[in-house]
C-alpha cells in the first residue's frame, strides 16, 4: 500500500515562464482565493493569510506561540467571572481615519455575534456575549460564563471600523488598522496590498505584496523557480530540494475526515471504526509527506494543546479488522461518499484520494467528490439536516491551542462542522468552556476525547508540518502558528 501512496503523488508537470520581480515588492502564492475579505464572516485560510496584514487584534503571539499585547496597552484583567477589562493603546486609527477605540472594539464584538452575520468563526468565540464601553480606551468584554481563555480568543479576533465595515463593498475592499492596506482585488487573479506609510512604528520594509492563487502544486513550484514569486505556501515536501530556500515546521493543521454519525453508511459505529483501522497513517506520514507529518494520536488535538488526552493513541493499521467490522455491519461492499477540495491545504486532494484508496482496499466503493473551495465550504458549514455527506475531509487549525475551538467546531452537535447529534458531547464541551478549575476542565476534555475516539466520530489522520518555498532574496523566519506577517519580511 505504501507504493500505492507514492504512485498517487507522481505526474506533476512543470512549465517555467520567467518574470522579473520589483525590488521592494514581493509576491506570495496561496492555494485558494479568499471567499471574502470580511474578517468576521468566514473561517477561510485564504482570507486570514491576507487580513492578518490588514487588521489587528487585542492580543498577539510571538513566533514561538507565547501570548502578548497587541492593541491592548496592558494585560487584560477580570472584573468579575464573566467580564474582562481591556485597556487600549492611545492614538490608534483605522486607515480611513476612524479611531480604534473602545467603541470600535465593542462594535466588533456585537458584529461577530450578530445572528444576521452568521459567522463561520463562532467556534473561536463561543462564549462572547457582548461588550461595554467604559471610556474611550477602556472596554469590558462580556462572556456567557466564566471563560479562562478569553485573552487567547482575542488573538484571533480582528477589530473592524464601525462606519467603514457597514459599507456594501467592505467584503471586497476592507478597511483595517494594520501595516498594509488593500488596494486591489482582481477576482480570480490576485489581491494587492500596499504598506501604510503612516503606520505607527514606521512603514514596513516591503512596500507592496501581491497574493496569487494557484491550486496546482507543480505550478506553484514552477512560478518560484522562474523567479515570478517570493513565497509559496504548502510546498510539497518532495520539492524542498529544488527551491532556493525551504522551511518546514510542525504546525497547527490536523487533516481528518468528519464521519456522519446521523445517517448513511457511517451511522453504524462499526463502519466508522473500520474506516479508521483501514488507513495506514504511518504510510501517509512517511510516503506521502516524506516525514513532514506526525500520526495523530487518535484525537483532534496536538500534544501541546490544553485538553490533550495522553491515554488515547492512534487506531492501528489493521485492514483485516476493518473488513471484519464491515462484514458485521453488512457493508462489506458498501458505498461511501467523501467530499473534499483541492489546493487549500497541502496535498488535500491527493490525501483525500489516498484515504479513499485505503477504504477501497477493504471492500468499500468510494465516491470522491472534489469541489471548488467556496462550494466545499458550503457543504462543510451549511449542509441541511439529512443531507450531510457520509464523509468530509477537512484540515482543522486551532490558534487558541485549546480544545474548545476544535471540539466546538467539529464535535459539539451545534458546531458548524459537526456530523453527530450526541447530547452528552454538547454538555461536556459546554461545561468545559466555562470551567475555571483547570483539572476539572482537563477531565471534561479527556472524556470528550475518549468518547470521540471510541465512537470513531472522525477518521483521525495526521498533524502536518507547514512547508514553505522561498526565493533567494526573501528573508523571513516562519512561525509556529503558520501566519505570514509581511511586516516581518525583507528582501535583499
CA distance 296 to 303: 9
Give 125-193 as a DSSP string: STTEEEEEEEETTEEEEEESS--TTHHHHTTT-B---TTGGGSTTTTTS---SSSEEEEEEETTTEEEE
Task: List pLDDT tens digits, range 239-265.
Answer: 999 999 999 998 889 999 999 999 999
Mean pLDDT of 225-251: 95
| C-alpha separations of 323 from 76, 270, 271, 333, 364 in Å | 54, 10, 9, 10, 9
- CATH 3.90.76.10 corresponds to the domain 55-166: yes
Q: What percent of the chain has pLDDT over 90?
A: 85
- According to CATH, where is 3.90.76.10 located in the chain? 55-166
Q: Give exposure, 22-40, as e/b (b: 16+ Cβ within 10 Å).
A: eeeebbbbbbbbbbbbbbb
Q: Strand 128-135 vs strand 138-143: parallel, antiparallel, or unpaired?
A: antiparallel
What band does 463 get if pLDDT is binned at 50, 70 and 90? Answer: very high
Q: Give the CATH fold of the 21-35+178-244+471-491 domain.
A: D-Maltodextrin-Binding Protein; domain 2 (3.40.190)
Position 383 scores a pLDDT of: 64
Does pLDDT of 64 surpass 70?
A: yes
CA distance 107 to 353: 44
- Asked if 381 and 371 touch (Cβ cutoff 8 Å), the reply is no
Position 378 scores a pLDDT of: 86
CA distance 60 to 70: 5
Helix ranges (DSSP H) in 184-258: 217-225
Position 386 scores a pLDDT of: 58
Q: Scan for cell 516562519, then name that residue.
A: 478
CA distance 353 to 284: 12
Q: What percent of the chain has pLDDT over 70?
A: 94
CA distance 335 to 77: 54
CA distance 467 to 415: 29
Q: Give the CATH fold of the 251-465 domain.
A: Dipeptide-binding Protein; domain 3 (3.10.105)
Position 20 scores a pLDDT of: 41
CA distance 460 to 155: 27
Mean pLDDT of 450-454: 98
Nearest alpha carbon to residue 323 among 312, 313, 315, 334? 334
Alpha carbon 31 to its chain's center: 13
Identify the H or E element spanning 322.
helix 319-328
Q: What is the mean pLDDT of the chain?
A: 92
Nearest alpha carbon to residue 338 among 284, 295, 389? 389
CA distance 465 to 453: 23
Task: List pLDDT tens digits, range 10-63.
Answer: 343 433 333 444 448 999 999 989 999 999 999 888 999 999 999 999 999 999
CA distance 169 to 60: 28
CA distance 399 to 484: 14
Residue 165 φ/ψ, nearest 5 degrees = -70, -10
What band does 487 get if pLDDT is binned at 50, 70 and 90? Answer: very high
Q: Strand 208-213 vs strand 190-195: parallel, antiparallel, or unpaired?
A: antiparallel
- According to CATH, where is 3.10.105.10 located in the chain? 251-465
485, three cell numbers: 506577517
- Asked if 347 and 467 touch (Cβ cutoff 8 Å), the reply is no
Position 45 scores a pLDDT of: 86
Mean pLDDT of 91-96: 97
Task: List pLDDT tens digits, range 351-396.
Answer: 999 999 999 999 999 999 999 988 998 888 866 655 789 999 999 9
| C-alpha separations of 264 from 94, 197, 268, 389, 491 in Å | 50, 56, 8, 8, 53
- Ranges 13-17, 101-105, 168-172: which has the least confidence: 13-17
Report DSSP state, residue 240.
G
What band does 201 get if pLDDT is binned at 50, 70 and 90? Answer: confident
- Asked if 398 and 153 touch (Cβ cutoff 8 Å), the reply is no
CA atoms in the 13 A half-sphere facing the CB of 37:
30
Alpha carbon 209 to its chain's center: 22
What band does 480 get if pLDDT is binned at 50, 70 and 90? Answer: confident
What residues have CB less than 8 Å from 97, skipping those under 6 apart?
A: none
Task: List pLDDT tens digits, range 384-438.
Answer: 655 789 999 999 988 888 999 999 999 999 998 899 999 999 999 999 999 999 9
- According to CATH, where is 3.40.190.10 located in the chain? 21-35+178-244+471-491
Amino acid at each position: 500500500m505504501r507504493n500505492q501512496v507514492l504512485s498517487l503523488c507522481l505526474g506533476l508537470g512543470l512549465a517555467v515562464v520567467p518574470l522579473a520581480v520589483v525590488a521592494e515588492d514581493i509576491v506570495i502564492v496561496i492555494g485558494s482565493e479568499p471567499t471574502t475579505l470580511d474578517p468576521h464572516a468566514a473561517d477561510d485560510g485564504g482570507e486570514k493569510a491576507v487580513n492578518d496584514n490588514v487588521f489587528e487584534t487585542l492580543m498577539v503571539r510571538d513566533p514561538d506561540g507565547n501570548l502578548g499585547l497587541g492593541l491592548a496597552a496592558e494585560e487584560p484583567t477580570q472584573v468579575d467571572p464573566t467580564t474582562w477589562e481591556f485597556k487600549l493603546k492611545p492614538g490608534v486609527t483605522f486607515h480611513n481615519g476612524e479611531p480604534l477605540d473602545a467603541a470600535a472594539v465593542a462594535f466588533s464584538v456585537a458584529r461577530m455575534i450578530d445572528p444576521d452575520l452568521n459567522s463561520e468563526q463562532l467556534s473561536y468565540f463561543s462564549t462572547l456575549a457582548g461588550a461595554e464601553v467604559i471610556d474611550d480606551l477602556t472596554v469590558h468584554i462580556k462572556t456567557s460564563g466564566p471563560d479562562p481563555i478569553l485573552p487567547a480568543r482575542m488573538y484571533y479576533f480582528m477589530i473592524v471600523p464601525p462606519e467603514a465595515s457597514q459599507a456594501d463593498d467592505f467584503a471586497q475592499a476592507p478597511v483595517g488598522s494594520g501595516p498594509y492596506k488593500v488596494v486591489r482585488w482582481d477576482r480570480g487573479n490576485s489581491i494587492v496590498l500596499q504598506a501604510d506609510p503612516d503606520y505607527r512604528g514606521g512603514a514596513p520594509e516591503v512596500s507592496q505584496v501581491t497574493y496569487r492563487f494557484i491550486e496546482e502544486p507543480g505550478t506553484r513550484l514552477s512560478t518560484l523557480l522562474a523567479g515570478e514569486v517570493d513565497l509559496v505556501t504548502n510546498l510539497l515536501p518532495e520539492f524542498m530540494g529544488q527551491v532556493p530556500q525551504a522551511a518546514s515546521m510542525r504546525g497547527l493543521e490536523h487533516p481528518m475526515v468528519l464521519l456522519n454519525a446521523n445517517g448513511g453508511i457511517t451511522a453504524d459505529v462499526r463502519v466508522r471504526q473500520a474506516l479508521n483501522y483501514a488507513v495506514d497513517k504511518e504510510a501517509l506520514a512517511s510516503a506521502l509527506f516524506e516525514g513532514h507529518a506526525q500520526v495523530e494520536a487518535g484525537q483532534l488535538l496536538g500534544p501541546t494543546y490544553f485538553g490533550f488526552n495522553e491515554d488515547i493513541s492512534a487506531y492501528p493499521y489493521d485492514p483485516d479488522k476493518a473488513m471484519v467490522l464491515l462484514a458485521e455491519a453488512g457493508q462489506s461492499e458498501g458505498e461511501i461518499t467523501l467530499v473534499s477540495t483541492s489546493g487549500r491545504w497541502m496535498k488535500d486532494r491527493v490525501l483525500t484520494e489516498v484515504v479513499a484508496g485505503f477504504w477501497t482496499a477493504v471492500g468499500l466503493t468510494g465516491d470522491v467528490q472534489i469541489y471548488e473551495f467556496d462550494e466545499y465550504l458550503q457543504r462543510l458549514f451549511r449542509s441541511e439536516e439529512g443531507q450531510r455527506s457520509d464523509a468530509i475531509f477537512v484540515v482543522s487549525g486551532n490558534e487558541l491551542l485549546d480544545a474548545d475551538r476544535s471540539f466546538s467546531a467539529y464535535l459539539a452537535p451545534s458546531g458548524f462542522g459537526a456530523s453527530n447529534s450526541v447530547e452528552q458531547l454538547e454538555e461536556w464541551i459546554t461545561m468545559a468552556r466555562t470551567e475555571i478549575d483547570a483539572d476539572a476542565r482537563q477531565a471534561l476534555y479527556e472524556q470528550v476525547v475518549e468518547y470521540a475516539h471510541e465512537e470513531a466520530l472522525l477518521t483521525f489522520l495526521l498533524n502536518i508540518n507547514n512547508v514553505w518555498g522561498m526565493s533567494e532574496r526573501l528573508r523571513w523566519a516562519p512561525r509556529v502558528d503558520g501566519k505570514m506577517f509581511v511586516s516581518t519580511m525583507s528582501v535583499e
